[in-house]
Amino acid sequence: MAKGRTQFVCQNCGTTHSRWVGKCEGCGEWNTVVEEDPMGGIGSGPGKVPKKGRPVALTALSGEIEEAPRIHTGIAELDRATGGGFVRGSAVLIGGDPGIGKSTLLMQAAAALSRHGHRIIYVSGEEAVAQVRLRAQRLQAHQTDVLLAAETNVEDILATIGEGKRPDLVIIDSIQTLWSDTAEAAPGTVTQVRTGVQAMIRFAKQTGAAMVLVGHVTKEGQIAGPRVVEHMVDAVLYFEGDRGHHYRILRTVKNRFGPTDEIGVFEMSDKGLREVSNPSELFLGERNEKAPGAVVFAGMEGTRPVLVEVQALVAPTSLGTPRRAVVGWDSARLSMILAVLEAHCGVRLGQHDVYLNVAGGYRISEPAADLAVASALVSSLAGLALPADCVYFGEVSLSGAIRPVAHTAQRLKEAEKLGFSQALLPAGSAELPKGTGGRWSEIEGLPDLVARIAGSKSALKREDEDV
Ligand code: TYD
Ligand code: MG
């Protein structure tokens, strides 16, 4: 590229274009391409000769391994999601929708760490000192030694956090407000965010301080300039939740120092976030015991079982094309289940609207929920409530067979703990817990499920007639 020539960078995916275009060729988004200085203004001036490289010592793969030194926050759900606490010298990105509670969570973490004698610096680029203090007061965090700065300039922040004793943890809230003198692009652009984050990561690696970066997610579900930041940091956590519900989930999507399938569950109260150590109780809390279309799914989140209610409503449509609406599950997966029900079980849903909801605003990503969803759909269509003390799990294949899933024992144990005495699970499931009081019924295929529910209908009818 010719010296000094600007390039055009998509703010969504980071693709560079040689000229301005309305639609990014990389991600297909409209109006996301912005003119930027190609080198971010760093070292791109004329007359700069690259310095000669210095050889570094090569070592073998074998050798002593040091456990990553971690800083435990004492907030169990947060420590669980990070894989045991923040790692010194690492950078963590915490993303989430604006207003979901990122600043609240980090202020609580900062206060907890500070109480344990750690030196914590909280840099707020979005709120004034007074606002942060107000929140701290609300969280009962104002009597701690957390150090506060309201600053957005990268060089000033580095100078501030580099002064005096090394901080144990630095929180930058948020990366979108960072701007550096060395980058000529406007604040908030990919170049600025990238430059700022790079500088913060360098600080973390050099000093051994843990760095927590807050990033907002745009409505498309991405942090502005996200791709470029996600791969730079050591761990990426997303703080999710539904505005209409109180609980929030901290989900790990990348972690160089720990597992990526763990979640931390919190509940937003008027005094900040409260830990939820038993999520199933929370998700089942508002359960309407016996209603057609309501089924309890025994799911897993990482190493932890989570019971959640799946609700379906199947009703005759008044539209030419029936509606399919899903909240908390994959709509493609719902279409698949509907197709299997039609093809293999003779359940016709072409004239019915189908609504599927996962209670509490929770999101299921496991295919193991297939059986629970199918049961909810058939139950709603038949207008028959299923047993309230039964949990369901199993994956449905295109042939209509129900496949075993992992962690059978853990799912069943959690169900028993919460008072469920029955389960419908795939035939051939390994690791069935022995000697438990529960009634576990194995099922081979979806047609069996439909027959079971239809069978319960005739059973119910007979009971009605008896009365
Ligand atoms: P905040 O942490 O500012 O969100 P983010 O940093 O992700 O943008 O949280 C904002 C919301 O949380 C706001 O709607 C108010 C609510 N909240 C409570 O319900 N209780 C509390 O104790 C606090 C501090 C905030
Ligand atoms: Mg905030």
Is residue 10 a contact partner of residue 26, using CB atoms and an 8 Å limit? yes
Tell me: the pLDDT tens digits for 28-65? 888 888 887 665 444 445 555 677 888 888 888 887 77
Name beta bridge partners: 332. none
**Which ligand 1 atom is nearest residue 98's CA?**
8
How far is ligand 1, taken at its centre, from the CA of residue 133, in Å?
Answer: 13
Residue 107 CA: which ligand is closest? 1
Q: What is the pLDDT of residue 317?
A: 92
How far is ligand 1, taken at its centre, from the CA of residue 143, in Å?
Answer: 19
Rounded to the nearest 10°, the torsion over CA 393, 399, 400, 402 is -30
User: Any idea what DSSP says for residue 217?
Assistant: B
Q: Where residue 122 falls among pLDDT bands split at 50, 70, 90?
A: very high
Mean pLDDT within 16-28? 88
Residue nearest to atom 16 of ligand 1 (CA): 101
Distances (CA, A) of 86 to 113, 199, 349, 446: 11, 19, 50, 45
Phi-psi region of 280 (alpha: psi -120 to 50; beta: other; left: phi over 0): alpha
Provide, rounded to the nearest whole percent, the portion of the chain with pLDDT above 90: 54
Q: What share of the chain is helix, strand, coil (3-state, %, to 5)?
A: 30, 25, 45
Extended beta strands in 397-464, E state? 402-403, 422-426, 439-443
Q: What is the pLDDT of residue 226?
A: 56
Q: What are residue 87's phi and psi, to 5 degrees?
A: -90, 130
* pLDDT surpasses 50 at 2: no
**Which ligand 1 atom is nearest residue 271's CA?**
22
Q: What are residue 452's phi and psi, to 5 degrees?
A: -60, -50
Q: Which of 12-21, 76-85, 105-114 has the weakest average pLDDT?
A: 12-21
Tell me: the pLDDT tens digits for 287-328? 766 789 999 999 998 888 999 999 999 999 998 899 999 999
417 labeled part of a ligand binding site: no
What is the distance between the alpha carbons of residues 344 and 400, in angstroms, rounded to a whole number? 6
pTM (two decimals): 0.78
Residue 96 CA: which ligand is closest? 1
Mean pLDDT within 369-395? 94
Rounded to the nearest 10°, the torsion over CA 76, 82, 83, 87 is -110
What is the distance between the alpha carbons of residues 377 and 314, in angstroms, rounded to a whole number? 7
* pLDDT surpasses 90 at 280: no
Q: What is the pLDDT of residue 57?
A: 86
What is the distance between the alpha carbons of residues 260 and 151, in angstroms, rounded to a whole number? 32
208 labeled part of a ligand binding site: no
Higher pLDDT, 399 or 223: 399
Q: Where residue 466 falls among pLDDT bands split at 50, 70, 90?
A: very low
Residue 125 CA: which ligand is closest? 2
103 labeled part of a ligand binding site: yes
Distances (CA, A) of 350 to 12, 98, 320, 329, 366: 39, 39, 10, 20, 26
Report how far apart the first and last C-alpha atoms of the chain are (Å, whole number): 86
Q: Which of 273, 301, 411 is nearest to 80 (CA)?
A: 301
Higher pLDDT, 226 or 88: 88
How far is ligand 1, taken at its centre, from the CA of residue 113, in Å?
Answer: 20
98 labeled part of a ligand binding site: yes
* pLDDT surpasses 60 at 1: no
Tell me: the pLDDT tens digits for 419-462? 898 999 999 887 776 656 678 889 999 999 999 988 876 544 44
162 labeled part of a ligand binding site: no
101 labeled part of a ligand binding site: yes
* pLDDT surpasses 70 at 227: no
How far is ligand 2, taken at its centre, from the CA of residue 314, in Å?
Answer: 40
How far is ligand 2, taken at its centre, from the CA of residue 102, in Å?
Answer: 6
The pocket of ion ligand 2, defined by CB under 5 A, consists of 103
* pLDDT surpasses 80 at 330: yes
Q: What is the pLDDT of residue 462?
A: 44
* Highest mean pLDDT, choosing among 241-245, 316-320, 377-381: 377-381
User: Any idea what DSSP says for residue 224?
Assistant: S
* pLDDT surpasses 80 at 225: no
Residue 102 CA: which ligand is closest? 1
* pLDDT surpasses 90 at 13: no
**Which ligand 1 atom is nearest residue 96's CA?**
7
Q: How far from chain centre, in Å, is Cα 379?
A: 30
370 labeled part of a ligand binding site: no
How far is ligand 1, taken at its centre, from the CA of residue 28, in Å?
Answer: 33
How far is ligand 1, taken at its centre, from the CA of residue 104, in Å?
Answer: 6
**Candidate from 100, 104, 275 with most ligand 1 atoms within 8 A of CB, to mutate:** 104
**Candidate from 134, 250, 268, 270 with most ligand 1 atoms within 8 A of CB, to mutate:** 268
The order of strands in the sheet holding 7-10 is 16-17, 7-10, 33-36
**Which residues line the pocket of ligand 1, CB cutoff 6 A?**
96, 98-104, 135, 138-139, 268, 270-272
